[in-house]
Amino acid sequence: MRFENLTPDRIKMRHTLVTRHLAWHTPLSRRTFLGTGVGASVIGVALGTGLLRPMSALAAPGIGNVLPIPSTLEPFPGEEIHVQAPPFTGEDTDPSTVWNFQGASGIAFMSTSVTRTNRKTGEQQVLPSLMNHMTFMQGIYIGRDGHVREGTFSLV
């Protein structure tokens, strides 16, 4: 380190930096080690027995702020979904499912296979997984309340 780079502020921070460095290199006593292990075990038991339950992410109340596109597809009789899939609805259709949307959007149809294994007998069966649909959108849109909003959406 050069002395030209030492400012009064850096000289004052020296004590903090040395203390932080020494904190990482202090020896760990058996009492601290066992106490930490017991604490982790208690949390594990509480999670395993259901006393502590993980919470899922919650959306805002209501039906949402996004307006769906007005056009629909009918994949099954009586089931309408608000999706435009370019192979089925034409090559020039927009894959976004949000009305009044401006931004980037993409769609993918993937056909794969899955191997199902019976854990008791070991028998394996290959199953097709055809036309999996995934869509992403990122940009701005006009919400139900008329305000311009920014968002990222994914439909898997």
Separation CA 51–CA 87 (nearest Å): 49
Question: Which stretches of the chain score pLDDT less than 50?
Answer: 1, 62
Exposure string for 89-122, b = 16+ CB within 10 A, e = fewer: eeeebebbbbbebeeebebeeeeeeeeeeeeeee
Q: What is the pTM assigned to this prediction? A: 0.45
Please tell me the predicted confidence (pLDDT) of residue 125. 92
pLDDT at 10: 66
pLDDT at 36: 83
How many alpha carbons fall within 13 Å on the CB side of residue 71?
A: 13
